[in-house]
Chain A
Amino acid sequence: MPRPATLLRLAALGLLLAFLLVPQRFAPLFAPLAAGGAPPIYDQGNLWMLALSHLATVLAACLGSIVIAVALGILVTRAGGQEFLPLSRAVVSFGQTFPPVAVLALAVPLVGFGEKPTLIALFLYGLLPIFENTVVGLRTCPATVLDAASGMGMSARQKLVSVELPLAMPLILEGIRLSLVINIGTATLGSTVAAKGLGEVIIAGLLSNNTAFVLQGGLATGLMAVLLYDAVAALERRLCRNARID
C-alpha cells in the first residue's frame, strides 16, 4: 500500500500527462472560461511538444548554471580563490537581480529570436541559488572530517571529490531545486521572443482575451514545477539519509 504522498504525486503526474497528451478530453472543464465561441483548448500547437521543449530549455539552461555556479563555488572556497568571492558573488547576484525580461530584450539583438536569448536569461537567473548553496555546503564541512581526510593522505583533489562535494551535495541539490523551479516559471517569458514553450499558450490567451488558454498554460507550467521540485527533493532525501552529520 503506497503512502498518501506517493499517491498524490502519481495523481499529479497522471493529470499532467493526460492533459498534455489528450487535451481535448478536458474541453468541458475549460469551456465556461472561453467566451463567445472561442476554442476552450489551445489549438495552435501540440501541447505535448510545447511542454517538452519548455522542459528541455529549462534543463539545458540549468545544466549551464550548475556547471558554472558549482565551479565558481569550488574556486572561491579553495585557499587560493578566496579573493574571488566578492567578485563572484556580485556577478551571480547581478544575474539574479537583472530582470529576465530585460535580458531577453538585450540578448535578441545579439543572438536573434528563438531559444538562445531564453537560454541566456534562464542561465543567468539560475546561478545565484546554486552558487550560494555550494559555497555554504563546502564551507560547513566539519573541520574534524577535513582534518582526518588530510591526515589520511588524501590530495586536495581527492578530498574535494570524495569528501567535500558529497557532504555538500544535499545543499547543492537544494540550490539546483530552487533554480529549476524558478526557471520553469520564468521560461514562459521566452515565448515573447519566439522560444517554443508553454508560455506560448499563455500569450495566445492574453492576445485573444481567452482566459481558458491562460489558465491551461499556467496550470501545466505549475504542475511541472511542483513535480520537478518533488523529484529533486526525493533525490536529496535519498542522499541525506546516510550522510547525516552529528
Chain B
Amino acid sequence: MIVIENLTKRYGETMAVDAVSMVIERNSIAVIVGTSGSGKSTLLRMINRLIEPTGGRVLLDGRDTGSEPGYQLRRRIGYVIQGHGLFPHRTVAENIGTVPRLLAWEEDRIRARTAQLLEALQLDPAVYSGKYPHQLSGGQQQRVGVARALAAEPAVLLMDEPFGALDPIIREKAQDDLLDIQRKFGTTIVLVTHDIDEAFRLGDRVAVMSEGRLLQYDRPEVLVTRPANPLVARMTGSAERAMRLLSLTTAGEAALPLTAGESGADAIVVPTSASLREVLSELLWRGSECATVADANGAPLGRLTVAAILARARPA
C-alpha cells in the first residue's frame, strides 16, 4: 500500500505538485492522468525519489520512503519509462538482471527469474536472452523494459507513459499483457498517462491532475457519473460518457441469469471478458436483440439484451 501525504514539489515560484494526498491499495492499479505540465510525472517520480519532494511524505507499506538512501529505495520499486530506456550495450538477459545484480542475487537465481519473466511476457528465453535491444521490435523492447522492472520482485511498479511510443494495435496488446502480469504477480502499479482511454482501461482507480493539483481520485465509473468539477467532466469526455460507462463493465458482470426453458442458443455468443460497449456494438451491427454470454469452453452462462445494456449506460 502506498500512502501519499501532502506531497509537494516547488520549483522557484511554480508549484509542480501542490499538496497531493492519495492512497493506492495493495494489488491495485492506480492511473494518474493529466495534460502535459499537470505534474503527473513529477508526482510519480517523487514516489521513488528520483525527484526529492519539497514537502509531504510517501509511506510504502507503512514505512517513510525518506528513511533510506534513494538508490536503495529504488531497488525495491520497479520503474518503466516511455521509450523503454534499455541499456543498448547489454543483452536482454543482462538488462533484465540489472536490479538482481545490484542486490547481489546468486547467478542461478537471476537466470531462473529472467527465464520466468521472459516466458511470462511471451518471449522465448532461448531466442531472446542473448539478443541486444536494437535487434528487437518496439513492442518487444517495451516488454523487456517491463520484465527488467519486475526482475527483483518489487511490490510496487511505477510506469511513466509506458506505452506512449507504441503504435495503437501493439499498445492494446501491451495493455492486456500488463493486466495479466498484474494479476499473475499481484504487483501494485502506479501508471502515468495522458491518454484517458488508457486510464479507464487499466485503472482500478484514476487520479485526474491539473496544474499540480489532484482534482479527483476515484473509481472510473465515479469519474464518469459524478465528476468533481467541470474540468474532470471535460477530460473524461462528457459527450461519450454513456459509452465510457459501458466500456467499464464486462459481459460476465452484467449477464442476466438464464431462466428455465431458455436454451441460451442466441445467434450471437460473446465471451465473459467482452465489455458491454463491445457487446452493444455487436448487437447493433447484427440487428439483434440479445446475445448469449459463454465461458471459455463455450458453455452458456447467461444472456444480455439491448435493453439490459442500455439500462447500464446511465448513472445508477
Q: CB within 8 Å of B: which residues of A? A: 142, 144-145, 147-155, 158, 163, 166-167, 242-246
Q: Which of B76, B79, B145 has the most CB of A within 10 A?
A: B79
A244, B273: Cα distance in complex, Å:
42
Query: Are B87 and A145 touching (Cβ within 8 A)?
Result: yes
Given the contacts A154-B102, A155-B71, A149 and B87 also touching, CB distance less than 8 Å: yes
Q: Is the CB of A244 within 8 A of B102?
A: no
Q: Is the CB of A163 within 8 A of B99?
A: no
Q: Determine the distance from Cα of A154 to Cα of B75 in the docked complex, in whole angstroms.
A: 8
Contacts of B81 in A (CB 8 A): 144, 147-148, 151
Determine chain A's interface SS by DSSP, over half rule: helix
CA distance A144 to B50 in the complex (A): 13
18 intermolecular pairs with C-beta atoms under 8 Å apart = A142-B88, A145-B86, A147-B81, A148-B84, A148-B145, A149-B85, A149-B87, A150-B74, A151-B74, A151-B85, A153-B73, A153-B99, A153-B102, A158-B102, A167-B88, A167-B89, A245-B88, A245-B134
Chain A residue at minimal CB-CB distance from B148: A152
Once the chains are docked, how many angstroms separate the CA of A62 from the CA of B89? 26
Q: Could you tell me the distance between the alpha carbons of A148 and B86 in the complex, rounded to whole angstroms? A: 7
Cβ of A152: which chain B residues have Cβ within 8 Å of it? 74-75, 79, 98-99, 102, 148-149
Known: A145-B86, A148-B85. 19 other contacts (CB 8 A): A142-B85, A144-B82, A144-B83, A144-B85, A147-B50, A148-B84, A148-B87, A151-B79, A152-B75, A152-B98, A152-B99, A152-B148, A153-B71, A153-B73, A158-B102, A167-B89, A243-B88, A244-B132, A245-B88
**Which residues of B have CB within 8 Å of A163?**
87
Bound: A152/B81 CA distance, A: 11
Closest 7 CB pairs of A and B: A148-B85, A153-B75, A151-B79, A243-B89, A153-B74, A144-B85, A244-B134
Q: Is the CB of A150 within 8 A of B50?
A: yes
Interface residues of B: mostly helix, strand, loop or mixed?
mixed
Chain B 272-294 interface mask (CB, 8 Å, partner A; 1/0)? 00000000000000000000000
Which residues in window 136-188 of B have CB below 8 A to A? 145, 148-149, 158
Q: What 0/1 pattern do residues 107 to 136 of B give for CB contact below 8 A with A?
A: 000000000000000000000000010100
**Which residues of chain A are within 8 angstroms of B50 by Cβ–Cβ distance?**
147, 150-151
Is there contact, CB below 8 Å, between A244 and B88? yes
- Chain A positions within 8 Å of B36 at CB level: none
